[in-house]
């Protein structure tokens, strides 16, 4: 390892995985030391789950993340995950309450915390659980399923009392219920809005604190995504240069697919959103579990067709919440997501509350790298991938398509571009290069948002003072060699435009061999 290696050198000088790793921050991972370990292990995007914790607690975590990003010189993205109309059990005292199959349970609106009270019918006692979603008693009918904790606890509604705000249920599959566990009602027609008052509060906080992207939960229709994007446009207007870029001034919106209605409307939702998350926890509760793998593949294909990033999430390495190693099935699950074309994979409780956060990330990276190595051995297609739906006009798309052919012809190991607002990097990411794309930008905001793009490693840097492409060429040689990503003679494709640092001017492609006087000539300026 070179003596003057920068602080952001990847661990063991390994190239970054093409697949991005998203990790959820929580009590197990919020310390500066653990966040640093997660970054070193391969995380580029950190999820802030607004379903848990206060905004004050999230502000402390965000400040810690930003401080570490500066010290490590890494563009680390912060993803705010809106809770949405998630119906949850209220406070349950102690370590929780065990619900037994065959017992009767009451859900009561506005109760301070769970209690046990006398059952006047049986003469015994019954558990009473609190909840806050007022329409629940009206919208759930006898015979409807009531599921808690991603379906681990299953009940059937048997009666209700509208005046008292009570829904009476019988437990069919028991288990331990603890505070704030989600309630799913797959048989009930709910009227809850996609964006709650609490969500709007979180959106305002996200804009104020510079969150890099927002995930919208329980999306059912494209109009719900558009509603959030329009509100964000008013809160953080977009400049003309950024109006069609994923990395513009408006915070990108990630639509979480966890409802059957969303699957039915997937093309419209993918087109409206900036990225998609396959949230398999609620999806597997809301629809037949056997359908989830097929739906996941369908969503990934739709994302690739539209050129949108796709995150596969939930229970990817679930056993590593407790265990130091994953199951074979979990390993296969992560690998298959990569092989299917997912741009990112996500860890939830594994890093938020698990016993082995850094080890879980390292494991996920090893699995992703092995899958990517296999993809790299497959024969390249004869032509560049078809242009994604909604791609830019040909004069902006053509250089990226041309770069694909050049990279194939010379066996390039890297594509290096200057992508000021991220549009160029995004189009390159859509082209299935199967080699890293190194994207330079002077925009810290653009660098952080590029952290989600498959294959793209963003580097925040100022253009050479001369503004000459040849001088940037020489800067790239030095920088990539110090990082340990190239050797003398490594073939790369260079892409840029003049002047460096201006969005939407990428017009030139050059073949370059590291250390040789090729690429953009120094007299080009």
User: From the DSSP assignment, how many helices (H) and strands (E) are in the chain?
Assistant: 16, 23
Judge contact between 489 and 466, C-beta under 8 A: no
How many C-beta atoms surround the C-beta of residue 149 within 10 A?
Answer: 18
What are 77-98's pLDDT values in tens digits? 999 999 998 899 999 999 999 9
C-alpha–C-alpha distance, residues 481 and 471, integer Å: 16
CA 321 → CA 38, 353, 361, 523, distances in Å? 15, 7, 12, 56
Residue 456, C-beta contacts closer than 8 angstroms, at least 6 positions apart: 425, 426, 428, 429, 436, 437, 438, 439, 450
How many C-beta atoms surround the C-beta of residue 481 within 10 A?
Answer: 16
Judge contact between 503 and 238, C-beta under 8 A: no
18's tokens: 């093409």
In order of their start, the domains of the chain are 17-84+193-370 (3.20.20.60), 87-184 (2.40.33.10), 394-513 (3.40.1380.20)
Residue 382, C-beta contacts closer than 8 angstroms, at least 6 positions apart: none
For residue 269, what pLDDT is reported? 98
Beta strands in 90-210 (DSSP E): 97-99, 104-109, 115-118, 125-131, 145-148, 153-161, 166-173, 175-177, 182-184
429's tokens: 């990411």
The single residue listed with the structure tokens 């996941």 is 296
For residue 243, what pLDDT is reported? 46
Q: Which residue has the higher pLDDT, 506 or 341?
A: 341
pLDDT classification of 331: cutoffs 50, 70, 90: very high
41's tokens: 């292990």
Phi, psi of 482 (to 5 degrees): -65, -40
For residue 118, with 0-12 CB atoms within 10 Å meaning exposed, 13-18 middle and 19 or more buried, which class applies?
exposed
How many C-beta atoms surround the C-beta of residue 395 within 10 A?
Answer: 8
**Of 3, 89, 77, which Cα lies nearest the Cα of 43?**
77
C-alpha–C-alpha distance, residues 525 and 179, integer Å: 63
Q: Which residues are catalytic?
A: 47, 88, 256, 314
Alpha-carbon torsion (411, 414, 418, 419), positive or negative = positive
Residue 266, C-beta contacts closer than 8 angstroms, at least 6 positions apart: 257, 298, 299, 302
Is 1 a residue whose pLDDT tops 80?
Answer: no
The string of DSSP codes covering 217-247 is: -S--SHHHHHHHHHHHHHHSPPPGGGTT-TT
DSSP label at 420? S
What is the rounded average pLDDT of the residues 418-423? Answer: 87
Is 515 a residue whose pLDDT tops 90?
Answer: no
C-alpha–C-alpha distance, residues 19 and 424, integer Å: 18
Q: Which residue has the higher pLDDT, 436 or 239?
A: 436
For residue 390, what pLDDT is reported? 62
- Distance between alpha carbon 78 and the CA centroid of its chain, in Å? 10
For residue 412, what pLDDT is reported? 95
Integer-rounded Cα Rg, in Å, for the chain is 25
How many C-beta atoms surround the C-beta of residue 449 within 10 A?
Answer: 28
For residue 516, what pLDDT is reported? 83
The side-by-side arrangement of strands in the sheet containing 508-513 is 456-460, 437-441, 414-418, 491-496, 508-513
What are 425-449's pLDDT values in tens digits? 998 998 888 899 999 999 999 999 9
DSSP label at 91? B
416's tokens: 């290096």
The percent of residues above 90 in pLDDT, for the chain, comes to: 72
What is the rounded average pLDDT of the residues 172-190? Answer: 93
**3-state DSSP helix/strand/coil percent for the chain, to nearest 5?**
35, 20, 40
User: Taking all residues of the chain, what is their mean pLDDT, rounded to a whole number?
Assistant: 89
Bond prior to 499 in cis (omega within 30° of 0)? yes
pLDDT classification of 75: cutoffs 50, 70, 90: very high
């Amino acid at each position: 390892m070179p003596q003057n290696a920068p602080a952001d050198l990847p661990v063991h000088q390994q190239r970054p995985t093409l697949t991005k790793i998203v990790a959820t921050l929580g009590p197990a991972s919020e310390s500066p030391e653990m966040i640093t370990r997660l970054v070193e292990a391969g995380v580029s995007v950190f999820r802030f789950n607004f379903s848990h914790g206060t905004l004050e607690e999230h502000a402390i975590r965000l400040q810690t993340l930003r401080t570490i990003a500066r010290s490590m010189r890494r563009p680390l993205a912060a993803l705010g995950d809106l809770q949405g109309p998630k119906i949850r059990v209220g406070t349950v005292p102690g370590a929780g309450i065990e619900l037994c199959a065959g017992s009767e349970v009451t859900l009561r609106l506005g109760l301070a915390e769970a209690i046990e009270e006398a059952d006047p019918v049986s003469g015994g006692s019954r558990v009473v659980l609190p909840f806050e979603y007022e329409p629940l008693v009206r919208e759930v009918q006898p015979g409807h399923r009531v599921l808690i904790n991603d379906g681990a606890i299953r009940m059937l509604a048997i009666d209700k009392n509208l005046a008292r705000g009570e829904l009476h249920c019988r437990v069919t599959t028991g288990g331990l219920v603890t505070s704030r566990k989600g309630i799913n009602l797959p048989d009930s027609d709910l009227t809850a809005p996609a964006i709650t008052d609490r969500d709007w509060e979180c959106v305002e906080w996200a804009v104020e604190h510079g969150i890099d992207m927002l995930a919208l939960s329980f999306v059912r229709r494209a109009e719900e995504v558009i509603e959030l994007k329009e509100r964000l446009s008013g809160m953080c207007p977009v400049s003309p240069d950024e109006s069609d870029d994923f990395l513009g001034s408006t915070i990108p919106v990630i639509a979480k697919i966890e409802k059957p209605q969303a699957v039915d409307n997937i093309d419209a939702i993918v087109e409206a959103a900036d990225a998609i998350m396959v949230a398999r926890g609620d999806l597997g509760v809301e629809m037949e579990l056997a359908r989830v793998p097929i739906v996941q593949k369908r969503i990934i294909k739709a994302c690739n067709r539209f050129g949108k990033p796709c995150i596969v999430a939930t229970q990817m390495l679930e056993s590593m919440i407790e265990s130091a190693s994953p199951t074979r099935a979990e390993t296969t699950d992560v690998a298959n997501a990569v092989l299917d074309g997912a741009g990112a994979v996500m860890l939830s409780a594994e890093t938020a509350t698990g016993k082995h956060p850094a080890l879980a990330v390292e494991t996920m990276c090893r699995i992703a790298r092995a899958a990517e190595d296999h993809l790299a051995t497959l024969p390249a297609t004869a032509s560049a991938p078809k242009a994604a739906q909604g791609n830019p006009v040909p004069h902006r798309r053509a250089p990226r398509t041309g770069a694909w052919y050049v990279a194939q012809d010379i066996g390039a190991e890297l594509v290096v571009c200057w992508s000021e607002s991220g549009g160029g990097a995004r189009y390159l990411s859509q082209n299935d290069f199967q080699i890293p794309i190194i994207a330079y930008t002077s925009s810290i905001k653009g660098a952080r948002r590029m952290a989600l793009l498959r294959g793209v490693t963003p580097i925040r840097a100022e253009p050479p003072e001369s503004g000459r492409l040849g001088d940037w060429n020489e800067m790239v040689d030095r920088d990539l060699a110090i990082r340990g990503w190239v050797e003398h003679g490594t073939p790369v494709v260079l892409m840029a435009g003049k002047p460096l640092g201006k969005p939407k001017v990428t017009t030139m492609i050059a073949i370059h061999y590291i250390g040789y006087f090729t690429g953009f000539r120094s007299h080009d300026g």
